[in-house]
Amino acid sequence: MKRATWILLALFMLSACSSAQSQGKDPSAIRVDLVSEPATAVALQKMILKAKVTGLVKQDGATVQFDIRSPVTNVLPEYLEAKPIGEGGYTAEWTFDKPGTYTIYVHLYREDMHVTKKKQLIVT
């Protein structure tokens, strides 16, 4: 009896995993491109960060957050909620306070999935 229970449990787990991937929830298939406007980021100038998300079958209900890490290691990260602009695009406005190489983590949330992609942005 115990063996049958374990086999049923294993089958249930396998079917749940394949179901999630068939619904566009395969995190390895998701790509994020990050661009800035203007293309050359300049300190103390307002700019727009744009993330383009691909590989997600359904965009409905997805949210994106930018996690901006300063080149100075003892500074806490800044978090920005991005606004959806359609077709997998998300934007947020930001002003960098000084030049340097910033690390930006793009967090994508949809239902029970959370995907994080790491990008670099050079600010002059």
| pLDDT tens sequence across 65-97 | 999 999 988 889 999 999 999 889 999 999 999
pLDDT (mean) for 88-113: 94
Distance in angstroms (rounded) separating the CA atoms of residues 120 and 124: 13
pTM of the model: 0.75
Q: Which two tokens stand for residue 122?
A: 């050079």
β partners of residue 50: 35, 91
pLDDT over threshold 60, residue 18: no
Tell me which of 6 and 37 has the higher pLDDT.
37
- The CA distances from residue 35 to 3, 25, 64, 116, 118, in Å, are 53, 24, 14, 16, 13
64 pLDDT exceeds 80? yes
User: For residue 48, what are the contacts with CB-CB under 8 A and spacing of at least 6?
Assistant: 36, 37, 91, 92, 93, 94
Better-scored residue on pLDDT, 25 or 40? 40
The pLDDT, as a whole number, for residue 112 is 86
